[in-house]
């Protein structure tokens, strides 16, 4: 069984890149226009103190240029993400990235100049100039960051360095998405299954244990063959994070990741402590799996093995219908907007193809549709991924439809709330609709697979991420063997005595996240996100007064408030461990239901 070429996919199941720009010529014209404005932006350097009108003029021009450059980047990424073998697309991505660096360098003076004006002056100007009113919260954020903003000259230098600083992530991404070659998986009869980034999840959940084992082994082995290069990439990324933290006078790389987003460090450490307390819950789940699968030693490649011989098939169009039904509690406007994006506006690039990059994600910018890249495999896990990414996309849709450009990005801490909220609502709907024993088992398996990713893999990666940053901060080295051993130790703790840990292959897990570990302390937010999502979903499903309105207001808020304040307005306090504890309680309920169904 092999993957199709990109040009063999029906257009209806590919995303509509030409809704961003009609063709490459239009894209080039937009890139040229952005380039032509760079000198105009630089002309404002040293002038922002002249008065509120000058400042407003600068901010208006900057917004126009940044909007257009965002579209330039989106269009370029859309072609490369779905075919990493396309060198023309790769060149387009590189040009867009270089443009972003030039823009960042050209506007680096604005932060230091605004800070030099002082908070009192900016408040006075906001009162005087109507065009500045919307920037009041933005200026407040800026002044809170004052201890970490350097001079205009240093800021410009740091912006210029961002492109070479991104090299480690770029190299790792090319290795994993374009250059890795995987041996095919094989079933018990010897039939081969082409293995690629686009279908690994389908193969490791296959009903045939031989397919699962060979896919998992071959996927890990391909990464391990490049372990030294990949270790060098990750160590370089960590050193970059530590350097930037020190350059901006943060206490640590963790502090540099959380403080600009106004997230107390205690939120991170509280999450990790709560996760470690609940490791016995995971051991209980692995024990259940081992018993149901025959009592033999449970291997990591069996942690997603189907627990029923009748797994649920979910064609893409059926998934669209069920997701729309599941999201009905949010109202007709939400559902009709989502359905239109799925059916008419081609938001989603649906199926796997040769060369498609790993994973799934939602992307876009002000002035474009939200877009989703995934590799749908006609199963319940594909439906869940689609629901998850639609949560991101609808968050983007509402934020960009409501907020001015300056608040049109809601930030990572909030992002994973919306995505997991969608999964929670759709899962609840399907558990009520599909009532046979096999259907219920399959749905609960999906729930546990989602928890496995967000409440097991991601907190484990967060612990790993903290440890490797602390090692570099202490002047220690990071070799491939160091990283593999650390990763294997952490997973061994999580699997307990219930799962056989192939230390080399399990220890390679860090190599398999080409985005997540190259976004400084991103992964912990998956666990906080699923916790906030379940707390908010509970209120909507229980029809608490105002719960729907508060959630829609959350989607529309963007970055117009600080993240914890936005969540408090929606009805959940993420500065407390309570939402994380409550979500572990939800997971325990799923395990109990599985235990009852499986006997």
Contact between 97 and 149 (Cβ < 8 Å): no
Residue 46 token pair:
């040293």
pLDDT at 1 over 70: no
pLDDT at 139 over 90: yes
Contact between 583 and 530 (Cβ < 8 Å): yes
Nearest to 306 by CA among 218, 217, 208, 385: 208
Mean pLDDT of the chain: 95
pLDDT digit string, tens, across residues 470-523 = 999 999 999 999 999 999 999 999 999 999 999 999 999 999 987 789 988 999
Give the per-residue pLDDT at 248: 95
Give the per-residue pLDDT at 262: 92
Give the per-residue pLDDT at 311: 84
Residue 576 token pair:
């407390």
- Higher-confidence residue of 114 and 149: namely 114
Query: In the beta sheet, which residues pair with residue 349?
Result: 373
What distance lies between CA 147 and its chain's CA centroid?
A: 29
Give the per-residue pLDDT at 53: 98
Tell me the domains of the chain and their CATH numbers: 6-149 (1.20.140.70)
Give the per-residue pLDDT at 199: 86
Nearest to 427 by CA among 450, 456, 403, 393: 450
Nearest to 362 by CA among 15, 13, 10, 6: 15
pLDDT digit string, tens, across residues 384-396 = 999 999 999 999 9
pLDDT mean over 84-99:
95
pLDDT digit string, tens, across residues 145-178 = 989 989 989 888 888 888 888 889 989 988 888 8
Q: Exposed, middle or buried, 492 (CB in 10 Å: 0-12/13-18/19+)?
A: middle
Residues in the chain: 599
pLDDT at 19 over 80: yes
Q: Rounded CA gap, 97 and 363, in Å?
A: 15
pLDDT mean over 268-288:
97
Q: Exposed, middle or buried, 237 (CB in 10 Å: 0-12/13-18/19+)?
A: buried
pLDDT digit string, tens, across residues 35-67 = 999 999 999 999 999 999 999 999 999 999 999
599 band by pLDDT with thresholds 50, 70 and 90:
confident
User: Known catalytic residues?
Assistant: 389
pLDDT digit string, tens, across residues 332-354 = 999 999 999 999 999 999 999 99
Contact between 403 and 433 (Cβ < 8 Å): no
Q: What percent of the chain has pLDDT over 90?
A: 89
Alpha helices in 474-523, H assignment, sequence order: 480-495, 503-506
pLDDT digit string, tens, across residues 203-248 = 999 999 999 999 999 999 999 999 999 999 999 999 999 999 999 9
pLDDT digit string, tens, across residues 291-329 = 999 888 899 999 999 999 888 999 999 999 999 999 999
């Amino acid at each position: 069984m092999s993957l199709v070429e990109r040009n063999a996919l029906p257009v209806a199941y590919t995303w509509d890149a030409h809704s961003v720009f009609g063709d490459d010529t239009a894209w080039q014209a937009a890139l040229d226009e952005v380039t032509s404005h760079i000198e105009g932006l630089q002309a404002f350097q040293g002038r922002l103190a002249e008065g509120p009108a000058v400042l407003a003029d600068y901010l208006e021009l900057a917004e126009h240029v940044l909007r257009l450059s965002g579209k330039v980047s989106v269009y370029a990424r859309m072609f490369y993400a779905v075919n990493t073998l396309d060198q023309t697309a790769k060149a387009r991505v590189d040009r867009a990235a270089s443009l972003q660096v030039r823009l960042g360098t050209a506007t680096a003076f604005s932060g230091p100049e605004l800070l030099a004006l002082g908070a009192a002056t900016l408040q006075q100007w906001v009162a005087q100039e109507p065009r500045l009113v919307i920037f009041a919260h933005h200026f407040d954020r800026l002044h809170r960051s004052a201890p970490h903003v350097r001079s205009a000259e240093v800021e410009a230098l740091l912006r210029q360095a961002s492109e070479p600083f991104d090299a480690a992530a770029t190299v790792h991404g090319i290795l994993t998405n374009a250059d890795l070659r995987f041996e095919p998986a094989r079933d018990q009869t010897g039939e081969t299954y082409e293995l690629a980034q686009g279908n690994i999840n389908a193969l490791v959940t296959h009903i045939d244990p031989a397919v699962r084992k060979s896919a998992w082994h071959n996927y890990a082995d391909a990464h391990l063959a490049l372990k030294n290069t990949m270790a060098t990439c990750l160590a370089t990324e960590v050193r970059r994070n530590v350097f930037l933290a020190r350059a901006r006078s943060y206490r640590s790389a963790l502090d540099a990741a959380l403080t600009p987003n106004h997230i107390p460090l205690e939120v991170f450490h509280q999450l990790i402590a709560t996760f470690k307390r609940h490791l016995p819950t995971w051991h209980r789940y692995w024990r259940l799996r081992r018993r149901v699968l025959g009592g033999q030693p449970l291997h990591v490649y069996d942690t997603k093995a189907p627990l029923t011989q009748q797994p649920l098939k979910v064609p893409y169009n059926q998934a669209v219908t069920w997701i729309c039904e599941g999201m009905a509690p949010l109202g007709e406007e939400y559902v009709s907007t989502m359905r239109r994006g799925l059916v008419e506006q081609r938001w989603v690039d649906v199926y796997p193809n040769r060369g498609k990059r790993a994973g799934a994600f939602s992307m876009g910018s002000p002035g474009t549709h939200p877009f989703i890249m995934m590799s749908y495999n006609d199963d319940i896990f594909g439906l869940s991924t689609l629901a998850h990414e639609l949560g991101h996309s609808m968050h983007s849709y509402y934020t960009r439809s409501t907020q001015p450009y300056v608040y049109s990005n809601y930030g990572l801490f909030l992002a994973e709330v919306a995505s997991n909220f969608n999964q929670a609502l759709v899962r609840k709907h399907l558990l009520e609709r599909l009532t046979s024993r096999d259907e219920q088992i399959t749905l609960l398996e999906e729930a546990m697979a989602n928890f496995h990713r967000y409440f097991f893999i991601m907190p484990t990666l967060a612990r790993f991420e903290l440890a490797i940053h602390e090692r570099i901060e202490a002047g220690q080295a990071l070799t491939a063997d160091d990283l593999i051993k650390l990763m294997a130790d952490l997973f061994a703790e999580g699997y307990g005595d219930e799962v056989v840990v192939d230390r080399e292959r399990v220890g390679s897990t860090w190599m398999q996240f080409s985005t997540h570990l190259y976004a400084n302390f991103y992964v912990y937010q998956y666990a906080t996100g699923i916790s906030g999502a379940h707390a908010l979903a509970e209120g909507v499903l229980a029809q608490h007064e105002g719960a729907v309105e508060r959630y829609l207001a959350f989607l529309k808020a963007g970055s117009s408030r600080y993240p914890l304040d936005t969540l408090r307005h929606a009805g959940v306090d993420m500065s407390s461990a309570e939402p994380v504890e409550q979500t572990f309680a939800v997971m325990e309920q799923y395990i109990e239901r599985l235990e009852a169904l499986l006997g």
